[in-house]
A and B are shown apart, each in its own frame.
Chain A
Amino acid sequence: DTAVSQTPKYLVTQMGNDKSIKCEQNLGHDTMYWYKQDSKKFLKIMFSYNNKELIINETVPNRFSPKSPDKAHLNLHINSLELGDSAVYFCATTGSGNTIYFGEGSWLTVV
């Protein structure tokens, strides 16, 4: 079983659309994250979620919103997609005193 799984792996969509990326973890960890990797491979944290509470929200447009239906899931919703949103989005998770584990990424292309 994959510890951190993301769907879809690839997503091509038009500007202005609304899309979601799903993340599920089977590690029983308390904290989940979304990271964005841009075209230059720079990784930057977007959100951190702990026990259903948003802990940190970096300077991310409010078109992005994380939603956690339960402890094992953290989905990323993006409204009104823009060309600049094209990137790889990584879900990650960690437990108390443990390593951060990353999913395999979701490649988003906005055309």
Chain B
Amino acid sequence: QQQVKQSPQSLIVQKGGISIINCAYENTAFDYFPWYQQFPGKGPALLIAIRPDVSEKKEGRFTISFNKSAKQFSLHIMDSQPGDSATYFCAASIGISGGGADGLTFGKGTHLIIQP
């Protein structure tokens, strides 16, 4: 049973455009929702995270939108740049930072390509 569903699997966006990646979760006990960015040959790195008590969080060009009733959250990348080309993973966990015993439950990832 996949507890975090991510879409789309791949995404191509023109430079300067908005990239949008969506995730849906099933376990209502989840209370921490991070997005990780992974470049080829590297480990995942935390990009931005949100807790369910807020509906939106913005850090620079990256914004998480969170809809608790729908059990959905999304990542928006504004003014997308070629350097943003990477694989993006949404995740969820029980525990403020994902540092609990269960760790992070990941979505299947989105391969994002930003065309110059």
B101 within 8 Å of A (CB atoms): yes
Asked if A41 meets B97 with Cβ closer than 8 Å, knowing A102-B43, A104-B42, the reply is: no
* Interface of B (DSSP majority class): loop
Residues of A72-111 at the interface with B, using a CB-CB cut-off of 8 Å, are 90, 92, 94-105
For A105, the chain B residues whose CB sits under 8 A away are: 41-43
Cβ-defined contact, B97 with A102, below 8 A: no
By size class, the interface of chain A is: 20 to 34
Question: Once bound together, how far apart are the Cα atoms of A9 and B104, in whole Å?
Answer: 23
Residues of A49-64 at the interface with B, using a CB-CB cut-off of 8 Å, are 50, 55-56
Cβ-defined contact, B109 with A41, below 8 A: yes
Interface residues of B (CB under 8 A from A): 34, 36, 38, 41-46, 49, 87, 89, 96-99, 101-106, 108-109
